[in-house]
Homo-oligomer: A and B are copies of this chain.
Amino acid sequence: MDLGLTERGRALRDAVAGMVREHIAPLDAEFHAETGGTGNRWEHTPRQTEILDSLKNLARDRGLWNLWKTHLPSGPGITTVDYAWIAEEMGQSWLAPEVFNCNAPDTGNMEVFARYGTEDMKARWLEPLMAGEIRSAYLMTEPDVASSDATNISLHCRRDGNQWVLNGEKWWSTGAGDPRCKVHIVMCRTADDGPRHAQHSMVVVPTDTPGVETLRGMQVFGDDEAPHGHMHIRYTDVRVPLDAMLLGEGRGFEIAQGRLGPGRIHHCMRAVGLAEKCLTLMVERGAARQAFGSDINSLGGNPDRIAEARIGIEAARLMCLKAAWVMDQGDMKAAAPLISQVKIMAPRVALQICDDAIQLHGGAGVSQDTDLARIYAHLRTLRLVDGPDAVHLRTVSRAELRNRGLR
């Protein structure tokens, strides 16, 4: 169980870390501040386009492109374990995942197209996604049902002649606000009876299809995260050809399961990176300020908080790495409960550290003068994204009992 970097992985990790530190992170705040500069928060300003294009070109030039393809023949020749170490570095900058073409939900969508897409889909969507020319969205969660139980999903899809007709609403469609977002992958209901996990299907919908309407951007603690965004979308009589359905009717869950594993773990790897960033902010602030005759790092319970942060990061990282290693062994079924474990633990650890860092900063911690409040909002949301904690706890508990032949 080697949880360390391969030689190639280490070289790529160092290159990614260097580029994040020197080129990407310094532009994060500027990119963010530009948003809405055209009068429309859902389009890029020229400067935003320039920043993104130049950084993406640099990533491509340095061979740091599409590193997420760990298990594909055309991939970078690294392990998922390697990628975990790399993703942690990417997590320390908001722009970095997209710069390296490794951002959600595109990575997951590219996997879906690669595995289940028709040749036409591969040419039309996969190639430009791989090239970073377009973006995509994954429409799963719905406003009107508890989507944590995905069998509740209700967006209606019925066959009408040689077309599928879709009606309903989705929200939290991440990335759907991006002006370059050209395609949706949509989980929809194609049957009202039969086995609970065979009533849903996955359909590919170009964003310019008539009837596709973006209602609004969902806010995360008041932030719409434009221009990327998390959109609320309505489909009204949206029509697509029959071959727009992936894999076949009733196979939505099969696709969803395959899709979510890696994506979930990527978020967690990046969360470990954010936890490191929060700890860095905390101790640097604590060393720079004095109160009650001491620097703040030495005051009262603060040394304990610093130590607990280090322990939490180490543990969360190892959990990510182990799950990645099991994924590398090729047994996604064995990996599933491990991924769930990480999905519960990594955001929790990172949130605690972020919260402690906020507290140690005083007012600055919740303000625009540090990145902490934004990190908090992001990590907090991660406890809901791709399955809330409660669902993953359920998965872990069931696996535990099943492995023992209980229940």
Chain A residues proximal to chain B, CB less than 8 Å = 1-4, 141, 143, 145-149, 152, 171-172, 218-223, 230, 279-280, 283-284, 287, 289-292, 295-304, 306-311, 314-316, 318-319, 322, 337-338, 341, 344-345, 358-359, 362-368, 373-374, 376-377, 380-381, 383-384, 388-390, 392-401, 404, 406-407
The residue on B at minimum CB distance from A147 is B362
Q: How often does this chain occur in the complex, in copies?
A: 4
A381 touches which one: B308, B337, B366 (CB < 8 A)?
B366
Q: Which of A218, A279, A392 has the most CB of B within 10 A?
A: A218
**Cβ–Cβ < 8 Å partners of A230 in chain B:** 363
Contact B367 A300 (CB under 8 A): no
Contact A310 B396 (CB under 8 A): yes
The residue on B at minimum CB distance from A298 is B407
Q: A303-B300, A377-B222, A406-B297 in contact; A172/B363 too (CB < 8 A)?
A: yes
A291 touches which one: B149, B218, B374 (CB < 8 A)?
B149
A315 touches which one: B289, B299, B319, B384 (CB < 8 A)?
B319
**Cβ–Cβ < 8 Å partners of A309 in chain B:** 400
**Cβ–Cβ < 8 Å partners of A389 in chain B:** 359
Contact B220 A366 (CB under 8 A): yes
A384 touches which one: B279, B300, B363 (CB < 8 A)?
B363
Contact B367 A220 (CB under 8 A): yes
